[in-house]
Amino acid sequence: MSESTQSSITVLYFAAASTATGLTEEIVLIPSNGLPLSSLGDLLISRHLGTDLANVLQSSQWSVDAEMVDEPDSVVLKGGEEVAVICPVSGG
């Protein structure tokens, strides 16, 4: 696949998501015409088969460029974004 048809995002994993994937971050290639955020979960699961990631994502939210996403269905990633899996928090 030529470079001109792909962009990339940085995905950040914390807590249970990082324990499941064994990673704290990874670069993920996405189509240069964009990837709906609602498709990202399945894409990440396919990169980490046999892990608990699917389970973790079920109870998680997304943040894009350090802003929480309230309506994931309305977000399309274009490339260059920093996307984080925000699993249930436990601060304080």
Partner 1 sequence: MDLPPSTSVEATFEIPEGICVLSYSLNVQQIIQSVQDDAAGATAVFIGTTRNSFKGKTVTRLEYQAYSKLAIKTMASIVRDASQAIFRSDHQTKGQNVQPLIRCAVHHRLGTVLVGEPSIVIAVSSPHRKEAFVACEQILEDVKKKAQVWKREFYEGENEDTAEWKENH
**Would you say 8 or 19 has its CB closer to partner 1?**
19
Q: Are 7 and 31 in contact (CB under 8 A)?
A: yes
67 binds partner 1 (CB under 8 A): yes
Among 9, 11, 13, 62, binds partner 1 (CB under 8 A): 13
**How many chain residues interact with partner 1 (CB under 8 A)?**
22
Which residue in the set 6, 43, 68, 78 belongs to the binding site for partner 1 (CB under 8 A)?
A: 68
Q: HSE (CB half, 13 Å, CA atoms) of 69? A: 23
3-state class (DSSP) for residue 92 = coil
Sheet holding 61-64, edge to edge: 25-31, 6-12, 82-86, 61-64, 67-68
Name the site residues for partner 1 (rule: CB under 8 A): 12-16, 18-19, 24-25, 59, 63, 66-68, 84, 86-92
